Amino acid sequence: MDMRLKRCTSTTTTLQEDVDNRNLDRLTCLSDELLIYIISSLPTKDAAAACASSKRMITNIFHSLTHLNFDDSPISHCSVTPYAIERFPTFVAFVDSVLQSYHSRYLTSFSLGVGAPFLERSRDNHKHREYRCCNGFCPDLKSTHINAWISFPLTFSGLKELNLRIHVREEGVIQLPPEVFKCETLEILKLDTNLGLDQASTYTSFRLPSLKLLSLHAAMIPDDGLVTRLVSSCPILEDLTLLATWKHACYISISSPSLRRLSLEVLNKFEEHHSSDLVLILTPNLEYLYYGGDLASHYNIINMDRLVKADLVIENDSLEITFEVSGQVKLSLLRPLSNVQHLTVNDTFLEELNHKELKDQLPVFCYLKCLELGFNEGSFWDSILLGFLNRSPVLETLVFPEGLTVYPELYDEEELASEQQFCRTALGNRFDPVFPDKCISSGEFGLIPGSQCKCRSNDDSSEHIAKLTACLCHLFNSSSVDLEELLKRLSLSANCRSFQRPLSPAGF
């Protein structure tokens, strides 16, 4: 079938008259090729409804769609009370019916959503994704059904995109067909599933020569080598997202010269407080890195010269090692990223680095322009922040996404209003409004109300710095010398462009 758009051969006048006289609807006026293109962009259940008006639409259009998109939501989701679970058999029958009657040779995209996505749960005061759906909420499907649905799109030689979100009641019992990793025409592969990968792990190699984007959210990775073999089978891979629990994560290796974006979240089996022994990353052309989950024991990160942005979000660092060793492990993860221009680091990652003997070992961030630091109620933020400022010569933007934590419940409304007015007065002559793209900002900077300002480098700032220092020392119950040094550096730095203060929780 020629999928290119063709010039309409009928006269506009005749078509318009038919439409005006209600002899034809506007969809009927379009060619089959154009209708297939339009209807294929809809979810398949909506496409079926749109085509139900005529035999021509069902016969020529619906059964020839180039994109199939099935989703059972909101029938069964773990995060809320199940909605209309009794309708799930109807969904199953609908999918079966469409696949059996489908006769196009040009299926390019297939998407199937069954069951709920991953949940989150709290473990050891850290957020972790839960990979098990609540019993009874996810569908109890037979392996024959799952295999038939997944295998269907793999029979088409032109398949370019495969998106599977499949969560069944018995985790790991039904196996993901390994043929998914041998489709040579695939360019995009997204898997979010609690199906087992044991069969796939027995394969010594895969073949995905056209794949550019791979997203794998898996309930369990059975062995270390699976990910290594999978990545090596994608010679032109540009975007990799990997979020999974490892059964035995001793050695995780990701090596790809073509990779531009990497999101890696490594979680270990919940009942085992064991972290990965080694994480090796060799991606010389990487431009973006997200690393989250559990802290590994060792890191070997090579050649990150082209890295532009990095996000480090460690959720659990409960390694059975000393405080100093844990800090050194985090430094070994941070040092290879010294060429980055935008860095985000969460509070758990900063915990050990905030101490003097470790903060003085931070690398020099020669190109860092934007820094985002997360904090919790136990952070001594002035120490580590000075360490970053002293090693970031071209820093322009500083962000505290979670604020510099205080305890507003300890203050009454009158005292809050008084302190906020004091802050406004103290800062009023020192800062001017500016554009938002150059700023030092905070999601919740103490109790100071929202505004956005620019440093006046030609002003004598000593009086205002003294007032601001006194105000913040009072708010944070601190008289630290480091705090005063921090404020001086923020306000007198040649690279300081602006300073943003957010609305307080009280809404002032």
pLDDT beyond 60 at 278: yes
The whole-number pLDDT of residue 81 equals: 53
Residue 353: is its pLDDT beyond 50? yes
Average pLDDT value for residue range 433-449:
35
Q: Which carries the bigger pLDDT value, residue 225 or residue 233? A: 233
- CA gap 340, 152 in Å, rounded: 44
- Other Cβ atoms within 10 Å of 160 Cβ, number: 19
Mean pLDDT of 130-140: 55
Please tell me the predicted confidence (pLDDT) of residue 327: 83
Tell me the pTM.
0.75
pLDDT at 85: 60
How, if at all, do strands 109-114 and 440-442 pair? unpaired
Q: Is the pLDDT of residue 305 over 80?
A: yes
Q: How high is the pLDDT of residue 72?
A: 83
Output the DSSP codes for 304-364: -TT--EEEEEEEE---SS-HHHHHHHHHHHHGGGTT-SEEEE-HHHHTGGGSHHHHTTPPP
Domain boundaries, the chain: 66-247
Model confidence at 183, pLDDT cuts 50, 70, 90, reads very high
In this prediction, residue 234 has a pLDDT band, given cuts at 50, 70 and 90, of very high
Per-residue confidence (pLDDT) for residue 421, from 0 to 100: 54
Helical segments of 9-67, H only: 12-20, 32-39, 44-51, 55-56
Q: Is the pLDDT of residue 214 over 50?
A: yes
Element (H, E) at 426: helix 413-428
Higher-pLDDT residue of 466, 360: 360
Q: Could you read off the pLDDT of 139-152 as tens digits, one per residue?
A: 778 888 899 999 99
Pick the range with the lowest mean pLDDT from 112-116, 160-164, 279-283, 362-366.
Answer: 112-116
What is the percentage of the chain residues whose pLDDT exceeds 70?
59
